[in-house]
Chains A and B, each alone.
Chain A
């Protein structure tokens, strides 16, 4: 293979990596929010994402989003609407199940509840996956839109030899993902609600002294966490086919990105997800397709074993 071809492959992979990476980043932001505030690793995160994907799918299709918003912006509107929908589902799940496992007040601040919550989310994951199988069927689906198939061409560069194709649908998804992440960062950083969430994450006991309802903060964090990931899922829905077990495929992507960015750091999670996306796409240059995910695993295990506090941001520390 000659140099221009190599460069083209590299640039194409880089582009793909950035485009998928930004969406992975959004997925990771949701997961790390839950961990940062509640100190719980949500095993069901991928399955809430799956719910988001299917919500976007049905919103666009059966419910008529396509008719109302058209082919072009329809999918994106549906993806964004998946956020609030899954947010509500998350609130319900938390109040009905997760909050009940630990006591409120002082007991909730101890570590004992956390294993129970961990295992509860595992159970929730199993139920969601298989209920999804029942509700949606096992055939893979995706949202197909004209933008999914169109691409801008950057080039020709280097004489006539290098062209990089940038998928239009994915680009808009990526921009939306960045937009949502930034909007959420603003919510966390500038609003009273965001401050209360960060305070509850930093020091739940002191937060209670201030009059912050920490139980409610946990519930909101859970809702936001799964809702944000669901938007990411909705955005992915128009690029890749999916089925009810899709959460499993993304679980390791999300965890790798979150750990890489430092558990609990929102900014770190976004860049962590971006990095994982790049690793995944760039590894395709040297590895066969099936091993792409293995590359992520290896990276994940390497980070956990060698540098658990992550590369970006700081692993959130409790006061």
Chain B
């Protein structure tokens, strides 16, 4: 479904991705892990069209995204749940979700999607009239994910959903993500700092460091690899 081939991204003179290749198949949960500065968020931004790609290709359903302007990519079925929540603080919870359903697919499936969202995240139903800026960190994260789901996507991209959250809350969010993946057989590309948690449920994983993919494999092969620890901690 998503195929990235030898992608290079540079911000002016500063290279961020140096030849990254990865793929996500239909219905797969793929995890991308790696230390800070490895280029994980840059990867997502490149897929969404907001990072300066210098060479390489991103293909969604076989279609090269280079010709698709950033604002159109969501309409193809790519949902980007950004790092740090990034909700719309002055809009209510419900309005955030409505904006999430801006795409045609989202609008068509709105009733059903809203119901599913409120089942997965009951707290959002409770607070549907509250402005998003007043929610707690965990609630905002749930809102951000729900907002991504509201567009009825075919590929859901989650950028560090557990960042800044207490472990218990992060676990809860993770469980929901996994449940959603199982229920909907949705393709999910997940960037996570908590490596084992991410790899545990993932079909496959990539380890990114300094803009390169240095390791690749499934949960079994990567989980015990001390090279992953060394990628994060240097030794």
Contact = CB atoms under 8 A, between A and B. Distances in A.
A and B: direct contact (Cβ < 8 Å)?
A: yes
B88 A208 contact: no
22 contacts: A105-B70, A192-B98, A192-B102, A198-B88, A199-B99, A202-B90, A203-B86, A205-B82, A206-B87, A207-B99, A208-B70, A209-B86, A210-B99, A211-B72, A211-B75, A211-B102, A211-B151, A213-B69, A215-B71, A316-B90, A319-B87, A319-B89
Interface string A296-319: 000000000000000000001101
B102 A212 contact: yes
B147 interface: yes
Interface string B84-118: 00111111000100111011000000000000000
Interface residues of B, number: 30
Contact of A206 (B69, B72, B86): B86
Contact of A210 (B45, B90, B100): B100
A105 B49 contact: yes
Give the 5 A-B CB pairs with smallest separation, nearest first.
Answer: A211-B74, A209-B80, A202-B88, A213-B71, A206-B86
B217 interface: no
A195 B98 contact: yes
Nearest to A319: B89
B135 to A, nearest CB: 13
Interface in B19-55: 45, 48-52
A214 B74 CA distance: 13
Given A210-B147, A319-B89, 16 more contacts: A105-B69, A106-B50, A196-B99, A198-B88, A198-B95, A201-B90, A202-B88, A202-B89, A206-B88, A209-B48, A209-B74, A211-B74, A212-B71, A212-B99, A317-B89, A319-B88
Interface in A206-247: 206-216
A198 B71 CA distance: 16
Contacts of B103: 210-211
A214 B70 CA distance: 10
B29 to A, nearest CB: 20
B91 A209 contact: no
B95 A195 contact: yes
A104 B72 CA distance: 14
Interface of B: 45, 48-52, 69-75, 79-80, 82, 86-91, 95, 98-100, 102-103, 147, 151
A214 B86 contact: no
Interface of A: 104-106, 192, 195-196, 198-199, 201-203, 205-216, 316-317, 319
A206 to B, nearest CB: 4
- At the interface, is chain A mostly helix, strand, loop or mixed? helix
Contacts of A192: 98, 102
Nearest to B107: A192
Nearest to B147: A210
A188 to B, nearest CB: 11
B87 A209 contact: no
Given A199-B99, A210-B100, A211-B151, A205 B88 contact: no
Contact of B82 (A196, A201, A206, A214): A206
Contacts of B99: 195-196, 199, 207, 210, 212
B12 to A, nearest CB: 12
Contacts of A104: 69
A209 B102 contact: no
A205 B79 CA distance: 13
B151 A195 contact: no
A208 B51 contact: no
Contacts of B88: 198-199, 202-203, 206-207, 319
